[in-house]
Amino acid sequence: MENPDQEQPVKKDSNKIYFLLVVILALLGTNTYLFFKGKNTKERIVTISDEKTSMQTEIDKIEAELDMVTSDKLKLSDQLIKEQDSAREKIYELRNALDKGQLSQAELAKAKEEIKQLKYFVSKYAKEIDNLKKQNQELTGERNELLSAVDSVSSKAAELQKQNEELNSKVIAAAAIKSGPISISAYTIRKNGKESMVSRANATEKFRISFNIINNPLALKGMHTIFLRVIDPSGNLIISNDGGQFISEDEELQYSYKTAIEFANDGRSYNIDFSDGKTFLKGIYNITLHADGYTMGRGTLSLK
């Protein structure tokens, strides 16, 4: 017959073994949970870090694009300047947010959305700048065409002015009175006041220049000033007491004597007497007449 007191210890030992097994299994489960939880946490941290790096790279690209589209020296409107400043301020804020450290998933999602909006804005801003460049190019082209047209008109105006001046010069030259053949004679004055023509220098007291004016319908009728230049045989200009200067064919000259005649376009003849009160020399005298800014006629006289 079995002893009941011997079965009781065996049951107690079995209970202890079961309890230990439960504890061991619980510890194993806890360690497994903590292991996978830690692994997931590390993976999440790595993922967040990678996303931050990617977003920072994206921000760098956006800022580089903004710098590129604003590198040209364009005159921006107040609105474009305001939009550019707003974009740079948002880039600054995003950089600060990413530099703070670990971000939550919600903060990362918000940053991603803001970067997406910023990227869209910079793309839109770049198109506006590109349109502004095209407008500037078109305006520059139109301005260059206008400048070219102005230069062409100015050139034509200058050419017409030159032609007009040349025409005026021709008209003025054509309107100047001209003499026919000039006859020069030497005279002496006798005691009775009569004049006698001579050919010797020591007997000559004055020259008489005789000429007629060629008919010219372009010349103004009325009084015309005549300038007389007398060059002696030594090549010197004889200057009388009233000798002065005048302009003939754009050259400033001295005259020996001046007077005035009336032009009526009727072919009449004229006489001009000249004497400086000094003794005349032997040789050839060259005499020119000038009127209306041009040479009117020439003649010579030889004295023995």
Residues 88 and 26 in one domain: yes
Residues 197 and 273 in one domain: yes
Residues 49 and 106 in one domain: yes
d(CA 60, CA 182): 99
For residue 229 the two structure tokens come to: 């230049």
Query: What mean pLDDT do residues 88-103 have?
Result: 72
Residues 192 and 117 in one domain: no
Residues 51 and 130 in one domain: yes
Question: Which of 129 and 203 is assigned the larger pLDDT?
Answer: 203
On whether residue 169 sits in a domain, the answer given is: no
Residues 112 and 193 in one domain: no
On whether residue 148 sits in a domain, the answer given is: no
- Predicted TM-score of the model (pTM): 0.50
Whether the predicted pLDDT of 2 surpasses 50? no
Residues 118 and 17 in one domain: yes
Q: What is the pLDDT of residue 149?
A: 82
Q: What is the pLDDT of residue 20?
A: 62
Q: Which residues contact 28 (CB under 8 A, 6 or more apart)?
A: none
Domain count, the chain: 2
Whether the predicted pLDDT of 45 surpasses 50? no
Whether the predicted pLDDT of 233 surpasses 90? yes
The residue from 134, 149, 173 where one domain ends is 134
CATH of the domain at 259: 2.60.40
On whether residue 268 sits in a domain, the answer given is: yes
Q: What is the pLDDT of residue 28?
A: 58
d(CA 228, CA 255): 6
Containing domain of residue 122, as a range? 6-134
Q: What is the pLDDT of residue 49?
A: 67
Query: What mean pLDDT do residues 296-303 have?
Result: 92
On whether residue 129 sits in a domain, the answer given is: yes
Residues 192 and 299 in one domain: yes
- Return the minimum-mean-pLDDT range out of 170-174, 185-189, 205-209: 170-174
**What's the pLDDT tens digit per position in 104-139?**
667 667 766 776 776 677 777 777 777 877 887 788
**What's the pLDDT tens digit per position in 159-182?**
877 877 766 767 777 778 898 899
Query: What mean pLDDT do residues 70-81 have?
Result: 63
Query: What mean pLDDT do residues 264-292 have?
Result: 90
d(CA 83, CA 65): 14
The residue from 134, 166, 195 where one domain ends is 134
Residues 212 and 292 in one domain: yes
Q: What is the pLDDT of residue 1?
A: 45
Residue 59 near residue 88, CB atoms below 8 Å: no
d(CA 241, CA 276): 8
On whether residue 161 sits in a domain, the answer given is: no
Q: Report the candidate in 107, 108, 70 with the shortest Cα–Cα distance to residue 87.
A: 70
For residue 68 the two structure tokens come to: 């590129």
Residues 56 and 123 in one domain: yes
Residues 97 and 216 in one domain: no
On whether residue 142 sits in a domain, the answer given is: no
On whether residue 163 sits in a domain, the answer given is: no
On whether residue 101 sits in a domain, the answer given is: yes
